[in-house]
Copies of this chain bind each other. A is one copy, B any other.
Amino acid sequence: MLRLSTKGQYGVRAMFEIAKGYPSRPTTIKEISERQEVSVAYLEQILNTLRRAGIISSVKGPGGGYLLNRPPKEISIGSILKELEGPVAITSCLDPKEGCSRVDGCVTYLLWSSLGEKIEAFLNTITLDDLLKEEATLKQTRTARSNKIRTGRKTTAVQTKNKGKGALDAAEVR
């Protein structure tokens, strides 16, 4: 339940690839396609939306590609998903485009709006920068994994590194 569409997922992963080139190296659709295993045609659609939303810019011609308009730290996952999928609306009664006549007397209205707000708050907290840090620790883990059993829990080293708030560190996940 509460499945996120592939469009949103691919969008976040594409933005992550573009963030890797920040601040100056443009990332091409082809690169993103290969690294994230998403078709070029579909990515064009997705990145087009994000460009029109002002989150990224495109540079044409050889050596061209996509660039972040702001630093990774200032681009939240929530802002990406909002452009690709619209605002979080757990139920149709919470969708600005739909609404519901029963709202006033409905006991579940508050429940869903409350959940939606929690989700949005979380997604607005996590940024592309957190994903970049996450990638770094993943690489560490991969090289150090041979003589360790993975617990699903992050290592102590990670907690030390991502000491800031908002990061996807162990304390937040477990």
Q: Which A residues have a C-beta under 8 Å from some C-beta of B?
A: 1-5, 8-9, 12-13, 16, 37, 77, 81, 84-92, 102, 104-105, 107-108, 110-119, 122-123, 126, 130-131, 134-135, 138, 142, 168, 172-174
| Chief secondary structure at chain A's binding surface | helix
Give the complex CA separation of A112 and B2 in angstroms. Answer: 11
Give the complex CA separation of A81 and B131 in angstroms. Answer: 30
Do A3 and B168 have beta carbons less than 8 Å apart? no
Do A107 and B131 have beta carbons less than 8 Å apart? yes
Which of A1, A135, A142 is the most central at the interface, judged by chain B CB atoms within 10 Å of its CB?
A1
Give the complex CA separation of A64 and B84 in angstroms. Answer: 48
Do B172 and A108 have beta carbons less than 8 Å apart? no
**A86-B117 contact, Cβ under 8 Å, with A108-B131, A126-B111:** no
**A172-B1 contact, Cβ under 8 Å, with A13-B108, A138-B105, A142-B105:** no
Do A88 and B1 have beta carbons less than 8 Å apart? yes
